Chains A and B, each alone.
Chain A
Amino acid sequence: MNSLHAFNRKARKLEEARVAEAGDVEALQKNKKHGRVYYPLGCTLSFNPGWEVDVSGGTAGLCAPVERDLFDCYLGCAWPAQVPDHVSNNPDWTTKCNSAANDWRNVDVIYP
């Protein structure tokens, strides 16, 4: 809202209902629910340059380590990613990788 100001409580409720229905644009902002800084997960939600710390305040979950980037695309991302299809064609692609942080080098390239 720019120049139209919700002034009484009913107007503010209408505004809240509209946001609840349509969703608001979220940037790196305070997460109201948990009262801490909210960092979106997944590459498609990030804005480069990347995050300085992750949600726990550390650096292990940053996008910069290749394993984080890789696995976000592989498991959690709806975007057509440059990783193998683990549902039907390459279900065993990550079997040698028990811990992404330690074993990411075992994840090999797939040649179609």
Chain B
Amino acid sequence: MTATEALSAAYHPAEHHAFESGGRQFLYLIPSGAIFGLEGLSQEIYNLLQSCPLSGEELTMELLCRGYSEAQIEATLDDMVDFDVLSSGTPKKTFPTVPEKSFPIQRIVLNTTNQCNLACGYCYEYSEDKIASTKDKPKFMSDSIAKAAIDTLVKESAGRNSLHVTFFGGETLLNYPLMRDSVDYAKNVAKAAGKTVDFSLTTNATLLTEEIADFLAEHRIGVTVSIDGDKELHDRMRVFHNGKGSYDVIAPKIKMLLARHRTNAIGARVTLSEGVRQVRRIYDHLTQELGFDGVGFAPVTASPDRLYQIGGQSMDKVLLEFEELAWEYRDYAIKGGRHYFTNVADTLKELHLGISKAYTCGAGLGLLGVGTTGEFAACHRFVDSPVAQMGNVTTGIDREARHEFLEKHHIGARTDCHSCWVRGLCAGGCYHESYIKHGLSAASNLTSCDRIRGWIDLCLRIYGEIGVKNPRFLERFDDN
């Protein structure tokens, strides 16, 4: 573009979401995920372009009258165009490309068993919305399947040197011997390949023992405990097969685990359902009574007509409690304190790094789920189901099936999301949830859109305020 053309081209703000925080104006840019603060001249330019596009000449004339020099105006316009705060000409949307078929995997989730000693009412594996069929399949993963899956992970990780294995179920600890042996095996093969491997475990905590806790501590295994709050709330859904609540069994075991295992994070994962949505009460109980230093909440995955599905009005109340807790996180952060609401911390980290996703999550991309038969699926939620299958440990990853999955679930293909400003963070939502709610894994979760946008906007304002008042706090999100 020549200087004359540049001057006569009409500028307009590029795709963005504006927010105010800590007394300052910010722009969250799409698709880059960059956040820029505006003040002075850049603020004036942005304001001038709110009502209609203006050419460089028109902008310059106006701003000269306001006392800015030509050099200042030119430099600021250059900055704003270079960083895609402003653009000229027809707005165009760009999306990243679908990865190559050889895209490496970095993480596997081993479903060590498809059995569970609990019978939680909302379980996506066993209750009304289950999509997995475990009929005629082994109940427990064998040692040879686990080893073959780990071999595949190491072999298919290409240049990635940090690998990860998650142990999942059913109830994972029903097959504790497999986990114990797999940790040793994975460490050895990873070391032989010049790589490192770390581990995490999801458990309902009913089978924890001191021996297991010590093993988890020794191998620095991150633990996620599924727990829904205090006894009254937890026992509403998380019950044994005889209907008896599991809280009394797990509470002392969790305290034991927290006392003995201090080498990695131990977080609580709360599933909110219609009868269990008292966010503040649950948070206080899990952090103050039990001593968790991380609590994450997620609404139950269920088709809309399930009784335990959180209704629209109830969900609004949940979000109000989320918001209250999120502002509390901000207050702690500004004072340099520690708050344990991980939903906020996770979102702030993504905002800080400027994450811009082509996919909602790593499912089928860098991550694969492995069933007891050794079948690969996009993630642990699709294991043993007819959907999102991608080969097995014997024949290897089915690259064609995986590529087809990645093409269908790419943000470029989820056209419902193309006009949405949070698409770089949400990217359409959980494939499993879409499948349960809409019968199609690649459908966007449109029923959650307003709430997700509200949540991201809230977190942006919190991010901005922390960044203005205590920027050093955000340095903790720097590392990947």
Contact = CB atoms under 8 A, between A and B. Distances in A.
Contacts of A8: 33-35, 351-354, 463, 467
Interface string A71-107: 0000000000000000000000000000000000000
Interface string B324-353: 000000000000000000000000000111
A10 B37 contact: no
A10 B38 contact: no
B35 A11 contact: yes
Contacts of B39: 3, 5
B38 A4 contact: yes
Interface stretch (B80-88, B93-101, B169-177): B80-88
Contacts of B32: 10, 14
B79 interface: yes
A73 to B, nearest CB: 32
B464 interface: yes
Given A4-B76, A14-B34, A9 B83 contact: no
Nearest to A2: B76
A101 to B, nearest CB: 43
A13 B35 CA distance: 11
A36 interface: no
Interface in A33-47: none
Given A2-B40, A13-B354, A14-B32, A7 B26 contact: yes
Contact of B83 (A2, A3, A4): A4
A4 B356 CA distance: 21
Interface in B53-76: 72, 75-76
Interface string A1-27: 111111111110111001000000000
Interface residues of A, number: 15
B215 interface: no
Among B29, B37, B76, B477, find the residue whose CB has the most chain A CB atoms closer than 10 A. Answer: B37
B36 A6 contact: yes
Contact of A6 (B34, B75, B356): B34
Contact of B353 (A1, A6, A10, A14): A10
B87 to A, nearest CB: 15
A2 B76 CA distance: 7
Contacts of A6: 34, 36, 83
Contacts of B75: 2
Given A11-B34, A14-B32, A2 B354 contact: no
A93 B464 CA distance: 65
B478 interface: yes
A5 B36 contact: yes
B47 interface: no
B353 A4 contact: no
B467 A7 contact: yes
Interface string A45-69: 0000000000000000000000000
A6 B43 CA distance: 14
Nearest to B478: A9
B354 A10 contact: yes
A3 B38 contact: yes
Given A3-B39, A4-B36, A4-B42, A11 B79 contact: no
Contacts of B83: 4, 6, 11, 14-15, 18
Interface in B6-41: 26, 29, 32-41
A42 B26 CA distance: 43
Nearest to B475: A9
B76 A10 contact: no
Contact of A3 (B76, B351, B477): B76
Contacts of B37: 4-5, 7
Nearest to B37: A5
Given A3-B41, A3-B43, A9 B353 contact: yes
Contacts of A3: 38-43, 76
Contacts of B80: 4
Nearest to A1: B79
Contacts of A4: 36-38, 42, 76, 79-80, 83, 85
B352 A9 contact: yes
B36 A18 contact: no
Given A4-B36, A6-B36, A9-B354, 4 more contacts: A2-B79, A3-B39, A6-B34, A13-B34
Interface of B: 26, 29, 32-43, 72, 75-76, 79-80, 82-83, 85, 351-354, 356, 463-464, 467, 477-478
Interface of A: 1-11, 13-15, 18
Kindly list the 4 A-B residue pairs having the minimum CB-CB distance in the complex, ordered from nearest.
Answer: A10-B354, A3-B40, A5-B37, A11-B34
17 contacts: A2-B79, A3-B39, A3-B41, A4-B79, A4-B80, A7-B464, A8-B34, A8-B35, A8-B353, A8-B354, A9-B353, A9-B478, A10-B33, A10-B356, A11-B36, A14-B34, A18-B83
